[in-house]
Amino acid sequence: MSAVIKRKVGRAAYKVTLDAGFTCPNIDGSKATGGCTFCDNTSFSPALRKGDPELSRQLNDGMRFYREKFNATKFLAYFQTYTNTYDSVERLKKLYDECMAHPDVVGMSIGTRPDCIDEAKLRLIQGYTREDRLVCVEYGMQTMHDQTARLVNRAHDHADTVRAVELARRFAPDVHLCLHLICGLPGETPEMVRQSIDECARLKPDSLKFHHCYVYENTQLARDWREGSYAAPELATHVGLAADCLERMPPTTAIQRLVGEISSPGVLAPQWGKSKLQIVGLITDELKRRGTYQGCRYGG
Ligand code: SF4
């Protein structure tokens, strides 16, 4: 992805993660309550959210951190926490404007659910695109299987994802579209994961974040895992499926991530005893062993 950023904005840019105070239709009861079973429920409480409500202060703090640590000069505003299009177009505009007005911000990334986007919001986001900016929307597709989506209380179906992708291509053609997939969701077999990968490839995102399902403290999934009704994915299974994913995605799709969270203190399982870098190394080795490469099994 750093190559995509460099190509677009002409140099390295660091993502500053922001909590703009959004909630999620899966939390506030408009679609469901309790959130997705893998989502960290402790942070649902506003009192426990760490984010500073003042967006520009968050942005400046994040930029200072990267300037001091990495000599960074340019930044992307990353609207990551919860559902970052879940509000009126007017409020979204105010928040996005606030970040994009900073002279060192060369783009933004907006994470959202596919059922929380529409023409007006996409037209707004398209309005921020420019030759030398990277403006990205990230949809949580997670799986193409509606029975899994029901099992994890996702409260939207795959038709929502297909519709959201079509809307993005139509009303935000210059926006970089990223999809997220989760490997190892409850009840899913490796074959089901490969079906979701093929469907994701058919949707041809500009980039992909491929995560493994991890069990986080204080989630429904953690309770299921403790009771033994959910088993976290094995490392070898994840490595094999990540290699399958690379083979099946279009060669033009940038791969932003091949493994989910592993080292944060709240992660209970899996405990693979390896760093993200080591796991990516294993995935690369697996492709070498197979003699394959990204896109070699993409249907087109
Ligand atoms: S849609 Fe995202 S923010 Fe909302 S409950 Fe699910 S994982 Fe959490």
Task: Tell me what pLDDT residue 261 has.
Answer: 83
DSSP 119-138: HHHHHHHHTT--TT-EEEEE
Phi first, then psi, for residue 133 (nearest 5°) are: -125, 155
Low-confidence ranges of the chain (pLDDT < 50): 44-48, 51
Residue 170 lies in a domain: yes
Please report, for the domain that includes residue 21, its CATH number.
3.20.20.70
Task: Tell me what pLDDT residue 200 has.
Answer: 98
Residue 242 lies in a domain: yes
Q: Which atom of ligand 1 is nearest to the CA of 154?
A: 6
Tell me which residue has its CA closest to atom 6 in ligand 1. 36
Residue 295 lies in a domain: no
Residue 120 lies in a domain: yes
Residue 298 lies in a domain: no
39 lines ligand 1 (CB under 6 A): yes
26 lines ligand 1 (CB under 6 A): yes
Question: What amino acid occupies position 201?
Answer: A
Task: Tell me what pLDDT residue 54 has.
Answer: 87
Residue 104 lies in a domain: yes
- Ligand 1 centre and the CA of 154: distance in Å? 7
Residue 300 lies in a domain: no
Enclosing domain of residue 210 = 2-290
The number of distinct structural domains making up the chain is 1
Tell me which residue has its CA closest to atom 2 in ligand 1. 82
Tell me which residue has its CA closest to atom 7 in ligand 1. 39
77 lines ligand 1 (CB under 6 A): no
Among 83, 88, 108, 78, residue whose Cα is nearest residue 22: 83
Residue 297 lies in a domain: no
Among 197, 109, 67, 106, residue whose Cα is nearest residue 145: 197
- Ligand 1 centre and the CA of 15: distance in Å? 21
- Ligand 1 centre and the CA of 221: distance in Å? 13
Any idea which residue has 């990277």 for tokens?
134
Task: Tell me what pLDDT residue 269 has.
Answer: 96
Terminal Cα-to-Cα distance of the chain (whole angstroms): 22
